[in-house]
Structure 1
Amino acid sequence: MAAFRRLTWSSLLALAACGGDDGGTEPPPTDAAKCDAPAAIALSPGAHQVANPAGSGGCVRLPGASAESEYLVSLVSGAGQVTESGVSGPFALRANAAGSMAGTEAAMTAVASVVAEPRRPSWPERFHLALRESEARLASDPGNRLPATLSPGIIAAPAVGSERLFRVCKNLSCTQFDSVTAVARSVREKVAVYLDKDVPSTDSLRQEDLDELARTFETYHHPINTGAFGSESDKDGNGVVIILMTDAVNALTPDCTNGRILGYFWGGDLLNVTGSNSAEVFYAMVPAPATATCTAASRKQVVDRIKPTLIHEFQHMISFNQHVLVRGGGSETTWLNEALSHFSEELAGRLIPSTECAGFSSCRSQYSSGNIFNAWDYLEDTEATFLVVPGKSSGTLEERGAGWLFVRWLADQFGTDSLGTNVTRALVQTSQVGAQNVSTMASTEFTTLVGEWQLATYVDDLAGFTPASTRITYTSWGFRKVFQDNCCTSGAAFPRPFPTTPVTITSSGFPFARSGTLRGGSGRLFSVTVGAGSQGVDLLLAREVNGLAIDPALAARFAIVRLR
């Protein structure tokens, strides 16, 4: 079975006390980046600013003072557009003493950022990409939309023991379907759990397992997600969401060396299309013996791992209803859709009592640990990862970490309570999608939001630093403490106290030059020290060293905070 990473939560993290755009309208590029008239960024300690360098030839100045000062600079792409391969492009950042880069300067080369090679997408990532692409394509045709039912419960909920025929994805592109006959084994007011009649007999699911899944969904998952995002549809009018436990899900990944699909939701079930069940259905794996390429999946493993999967996929179901069926819009962009589903996992970890998560130190460990690991993976190399993921990506673990961190920060900044569910409802109950959706909710340009968020991922709870504004903080998490409490011992989750190490810029390294790649919604952190009594430091951003101005499509920004 795919690795299931968890944290012990040695210290519980306290909850907080009780007009936009898709990346900005950018000016046309200048002939060349130059530092003849740099924009001065004058900040007091703790203050921050998000600056567009395009208006000053790509150059900004951090002024000097009588005492040494230090700045954290996040070079980010505020591009919010989703393209097939993602909005990305080269950058070269130069730094030198104030005034020394004006006019013509001798050519120099830049040290290239060391960025890890993109890893091969896992089978679950490829499959979920296919599902989201399929939903977007099918939802774009109004003729595929099923007529609305009159009201919930028009048709009686299924009776325990009744059988039903289901169509289930047969391949990773969900273009072929298998027929599965299943029996309703546990039925409650909001959910019906069906079990495939033809499943492996080894360590098979028992009645108490199916009852546990139904009870957990009814008691916790349903109220948590409908409160945070809105209602699901009821296209078949029977008032219940179906959980189908079937080895047809297991069959999607006969070789588990590159990941294992645990379960899924497909919006095609709510449309008039081939393979549709015309009902709200989650599909989930069943226990299975070991094979040459897959480890055994026991009863307990399946039940434990399906629970976070169910609440994650339930957000997708609600999102499809709210965006497509209720408002007639398109399905949410993959990056934001997945970010919100990972947020639902966090809510479950916060709101479900620990007594419901036997075998784990807490429900945070069962539901939320994956988000923390994904966040670490992203923060280890932010330059290598998109926030606004390419259209061809379902979101790598690093991209999912970025998405969850961003939505969690949005909820902290614009929430009206400690959970921030007014933010998530606003993001789901709309026909807008992606960066425009975020900008509208926050009444702030996406470029500004991305810059401030990038600063927050590093300076929140930074020792010795007090921000002048909470906009560069998290109010619901103390990530530095989480990482530190789970690091640096044999068998610990993390190898060091914090994943991000900014690139250091000091006068001893002048002239400084660094090249790399900007990716939509993400960037690279730099620590800039301005010497005592100096005139300051100029930062010059270009497409390449001694080259043209940076591509305006990247919507490049300097997000800068003065640390001291």
Structure 2
Amino acid sequence: MKRSSAVQLVLWSLAATAGYSGDAAGPSIPACSSALASQVVLAVGAYTSIDTCSTSAFKTVGARVQSLGAHIAVYVDTLAPANGLTTADFDTLRTVFDSRLYPLDTTAFGREPDVDSNGVVIVLMTGVVNGLVTKTQCNTTGFVAGFFFPADLDPTVRAQYNNGEVFYSIVADPTGTLSCAHSAAEVKRSTPVTFTHEFQHMINFTQHVLVRSGSTEDGWLDEGLSKYAEELAGRSYLPTDSVSFSQYAFNTVYDAYQYLTAPGSNALLIPLDNGTLAEIGASWLFVRYAVDQHGDSLPRKLVQSPLTGASNVAAQTGQPFDAVVTRWALANWVSDLPGFAASPELMYKSWHFRRTFASLNSQDPADFPRPFPLVPTAGAGSSVNLAGTLQAGSGVYHRALQGPSGPAFTLFYSQDGTTALPSLIVGRLGVIRLR
């Protein structure tokens, strides 16, 4: 997780997205039931190394309910460090979850299953999550803020686990007794962002696997939808509260910047939800572009489908995936390119990234060193000679500079300069004339 800098995001020409609604989609559910206890014992594991056929990687955690809402129950590990969140803090989190994030996600994507029949999603704040990384790892490469574990809902194994809807989160640890320090203010600020992200994963798993008996969504598309959920939550604060918008959207935009800095080195089509920040940035950019092109109903269609990945995108957009991904790649460069009038299918409609990144560059040049991260190489058309590895769904950018009377030239792909690419590798070339 990237630590947010004290910057504000600037947007121009905001387009309407799936709007905030006070009512969740689907039938109402009770605030709680007899199945919800005031104290629970849950198994929590390091999700990066869980063996779904064994419980040996898990730790048992005792937790007490701190705040109970219509859709959310906030539990805290009984062994959480001192000087953490207050009762008022827990109630504030519950209110944000209940009245804003839950309606947003269920409207945009669909419903969670309620397999434990208690009417709520449990938010378990536990030091086990803090301990997934060491203090050194936390301070150098980041930390795990929270997660959703699909085995808790998988009907084939959930009886071995928590058999219910659980979102796992770090606890406040002001003195760093478990890993690096996390102040109460930081946890209060970051937990809603992580929740809305992981709740999309929970809904996505529910709709694909439990409702439609399909496979889990491909990692790249699932992650892109969760990053879209973060953005959606941030936009619900606009236009009056740009600070809260920035808190939700900053990491997403930072990830996109990382991808656009080196698109040729980072894949879009990663099979699992374990990508680098740059790959996650690619996932969000693709989903954001697709929603801009095909409407706010697209995320719900993608989630409520038995299809996955490229096939899912093609089915829900009505266009071949090759066409969608090629136009997206071109839009990354030409969408708001000065002096160029991009056609509608090559545009982001909800972001003007050159203005956004230029603003971030002026506020935080250490994290955003260029006014715009994507800088294609350039050279005469007749001397184009690019070598490297093509990443799945992504590509490299090059400007071929051709004079008005310059001779024609031919471009071709090869494996080593002379040998044709294997038939299983389909290289694609997208060309657009800028002037």
Number of the residue aligned with 2:215: 330
In the alignment, which residue of structure 1 is the partner of 2:429? 558
Instruction: Name the residue aligned to 2:317.
Output: 442
Equivalent residue number for residue 543 of structure 1: 415
Distance 1:315 1:472, change over 3 A: same
Map 1:8-157 onto structure 2 (within 5 A): 8-9=7-8, 11-16=10-15, 152-153=29-30, 156=33
Moved >6 Å (runs of 4+): none
Higher RCO (C-alpha 8 Å, min separation 6):
1
3-state SS, counterpart of residue 432 of structure 1: coil
Higher helix share: 2
**Are the equivalent residues in 2 in contact too, given 1:329–1:432 (CA < 8 A)?**
yes
Counterpart residue number, 2:70: 189
CA contact (8 A) 2:130 2:179 kept: no
Q: 1:384 aligns with which of 265, 275, 281?
A: 265
Counterpart residue identity of residue 268, structure 1: A
Deviation at 1:489, TM superposition (A): 6.5
Aligned to 1:249: 129
Normalising by structure 1, report the TM-score: 0.70
Structure 1 residues 470 and 7: CA distance shift in structure 2, 3 A: farther
Residue in structure 1 matched with residue 346 of structure 2 by the alignment: 472
CA distance in 2, matches of 1:293, 1:242: 22
State the one-letter code of the partner of 2:124. Answer: L
SS in 1 for 2:8: coil
Structure 1 residue corresponding to 2:116, chosen from 222, 236, 251: 236
State the AA in 1 paired with 2:256.
Answer: A
Count of equivalent residues: 416
Q: CA deviation at 1:555?
A: 2.2
Kept in 1, the 8 Å contact 2:152–2:166? The answer is yes
With normalisation by structure 2, the TM-score equals 0.89
Find the aligned partners of 2:6 and 2:112 in 1 and give their Cα distance: 31
Do residues 306 (structure 1) and 211 (structure 2) align?
no
Q: Which residue of 2 aligns with 1:484?
A: 358
CA contact 1:6–1:366 (8 Å) conserved in 2? no
8 Å contact 1:153–1:237 — kept in the other structure? no
- Aligned residue in 1 for 2:206: 321
Residue among 36, 39, 45 paired with 1:169: 45
Q: Which runs of 5 or more structure 1 residues have no equivalent in the other structure?
A: 19-149
1:410-559 matched pairs, under 5 angstroms: 410-415=290-295, 420=296, 422-467=297-342, 469-488=343-362, 491=365, 493-506=367-380, 510-545=382-417, 547-559=418-430
**Alpha carbons of 1:458 and 1:7: their partners in 2 closer, same or farther (altered >3 Å)?**
farther
Output the amino acid matched with 2:258. Answer: D
| In 1, Cα distance between equivalents of 2:89 and 2:8 | 26
**Cα 1:293–1:382, aligned 2, differ >3 Å: closer, same or farther?**
farther
Cα 1:326–1:154 shift into 2, 3 Å? farther
Partner residue in 2 for 1:142: none
CA displacement 1:212-242 (0-9 Å, x = unmatched): 1111010111111111111111101121111
Q: Secondary structure at the match of 1:514?
A: coil
Structure 2 CA distance for partners of 1:409 and 1:157, relative to 1, 3 Å: farther
Q: Tell me if the contact between 1:354 and 1:362 (Cα under 8 Å) persists in the aligned partners.
A: no
**Structure number with bigger Rg:** 1
% same residue: 38
List runs of 5+ in structure 2 lacking aligned partners.
18-26, 52-56
Question: 1:372 aligns to what SS in structure 2?
Answer: helix
Paired position in structure 2 for 1:145: none
CA contact (8 A) 2:35 2:116 kept: no
